[in-house]
Amino acid sequence: MTEVIQPEYSPQSAFIGLGSNVGDRLQNLATAVAALNSASVQVVRVSPVYETQYVGPHPASQPDYLNCVAQIRTLLDPRALLLRLHELEAAAGRSTCDRAGPRPLDADLLLYGNTTIESDGLVVPHPRMWDRA
């Protein structure tokens, strides 16, 4: 198990995957990008938005996703950033009851600088990042 926490005040580049497949999907993504910006997170740029099919069990059972990736600079360590992403998901109305259910917002920490992390609840680079490209 490897976990690396960056020193305080050492800004790091990170990439966040954002997706939405219920409600006003485009607005959900725009709201998440705006909410990412804070004293400890700066959104550097955002990819174009792509529409993709749900990847998981029973693909026909869920609406298509709108997805994008945000590059950020952050003072948060990886675990604090992951908690921030979970807060954004909850604020958008995501239920934690059904991990494979439809999502107004899905926010994943894809990359955090050159850091590799393998710990309970946090793996960076994201283990399924390439399955969703």
User: Does residue 106 carry a catalytic annotation?
Assistant: yes
Choose the catalytic residue: 79, 94, 128, 131: 94
94 part of the active site? yes
**Active-site annotation holder among 106, 120, 131, 132:** 106
Give me 48's structure tokens.
């174009």
Partners of 17 in the β-ladder: 69, 108
The answer to whether residue 73 is catalytic is: no
- The question of whether 84 is a catalytic residue gets the answer no
Cβ contact 98:64 at 8 Å: no
List the catalytic residue out of 79, 99, 108, 120: 108
Exposure string for 60-78, b = 16+ CB within 10 A, e = fewer: eebeebbbbbbbbebbbbb
Which one is catalytic: 25, 77, 84, 103?
103
Could you tell me where the DSSP H helices lie in the chain? 25-36, 78-91
Active site residues: 94, 103, 106, 108
